[in-house]
């Protein structure tokens, strides 16, 4: 991560425009819309998933399909609104038929996520699922590492399951909801500090 330098006067809108015009990998030929990310970021928390799915591709908004509803419900139950967080994915265009992103696609698209992180300077980054946890932190077992704060390159991470994995597994859903509760307690506890130091 962080092979790009901070773009002068970079903004979320500029990054979104660059993503919209991007043709650096073949996913540009099958996407309907790019999905740069969404949120108000009041609590300095970034939530990052794997890639947009069908509903996200149709609308250009992240996490609005069935998995997104699980995430948004879990956030809402813990009084976290979309204005509190910035939600995005490592890949900004939908892979055909929701296949897993290929390594070359991740390596190419990561520059936009890096720019978003450099610009927003999140105090906490929540990674959803194995694909991104393994890619960014080299985590081999999400079961072992989930639910606690991890540190890398002066950034704080919190890893949990991807909400899509919880759709047909009630046990995982309970664990996922407990993790989001823990995350909300952490960011609420540190909220005044986060506001001061930003």
Is 4 a binder of ligand SF4 (CB under 6 A)?
no
Residue 186 beta carbon to ligand SF4: minimum distance, rounded to whole angstroms? 30
Q: Which of 27, 90, 131, 180 binds ligand SF4 (CB under 6 A)?
A: 27
Is 35 a binder of ligand SF4 (CB under 6 A)?
no
Residue 113 beta carbon to ligand SF4: minimum distance, rounded to whole angstroms? 9
* DSSP string for residues in 77-116: HTT--TTTEEEEES-SSPPGGGPPPPHHHHHHHHHHHHHH
Is 25 a binder of ligand SF4 (CB under 6 A)?
yes
E strand intervals along 102-180 = 124-128, 149-152, 155-160
Task: Give 46's contacts (C-beta < 8 A, 6+ positions apart).
Answer: 85, 86, 87, 88, 116, 117, 120, 122, 124, 125, 126
Residue 47 beta carbon to ligand SF4: minimum distance, rounded to whole angstroms? 18
Extract the tokens encoding 2: 């962080």
Q: Which of 80, 85, 93, 159 binds ligand SF4 (CB under 6 A)?
A: 93
Instruction: Name residue 160's beta-bridge partners.
Output: 128
Residue 173 beta carbon to ligand SF4: minimum distance, rounded to whole angstroms? 29
Is 15 a binder of ligand SF4 (CB under 6 A)?
no
Is 28 a binder of ligand SF4 (CB under 6 A)?
yes
Extract the tokens encoding 169: 């597994």
Whole-number Cα distances in Å, 91 to 79, 87, 106, 138, 182: 28, 12, 6, 17, 26
Is 106 a binder of ligand SF4 (CB under 6 A)?
no
- Interface residues toward ligand SF4, by CB under 6 A: 19, 22-25, 27-28, 34, 91-93, 105, 108-109
């Amino acid at each position: 991560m962080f092979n790009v330098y901070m773009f002068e006067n970079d903004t979320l809108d500029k990054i979104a425009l660059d993503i919209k015009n991007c043709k650096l990998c073949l996913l540009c030929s099958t996407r309907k819309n790019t999905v740069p990310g969404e949120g108000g970021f009041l609590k300095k928390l970034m939530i990052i998933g794997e890639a947009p799915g069908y509903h996200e591709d149709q609308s250009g908004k992240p996490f609005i399909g069935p998995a997104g509803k699980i995430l948004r419900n879990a956030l809402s139950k813990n009084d976290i609104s979309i204005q509190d967080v910035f939600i995005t994915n490592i890949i900004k265009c939908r892979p055909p038929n929701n296949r897993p992103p290929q390594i070359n696609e991740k390596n190419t698209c990561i520059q936009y996520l890096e720019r978003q992180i450099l610009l927003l300077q999140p105090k906490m980054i929540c990674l959803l699922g194995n694909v991104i946890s393994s890619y960014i932190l080299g985590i081999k077992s999400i079961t072992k590492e989930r639910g606690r704060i991890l540190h890398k390159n002066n950034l704080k991470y919190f890893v949990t399951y991807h909400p899509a994995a919880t759709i047909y597994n009630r046990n995982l859903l309970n664990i996922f909801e407990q993790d989001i509760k823990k995350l909300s307690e952490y960011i609420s506890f540190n909220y005044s500090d986060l506001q001061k130091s930003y």
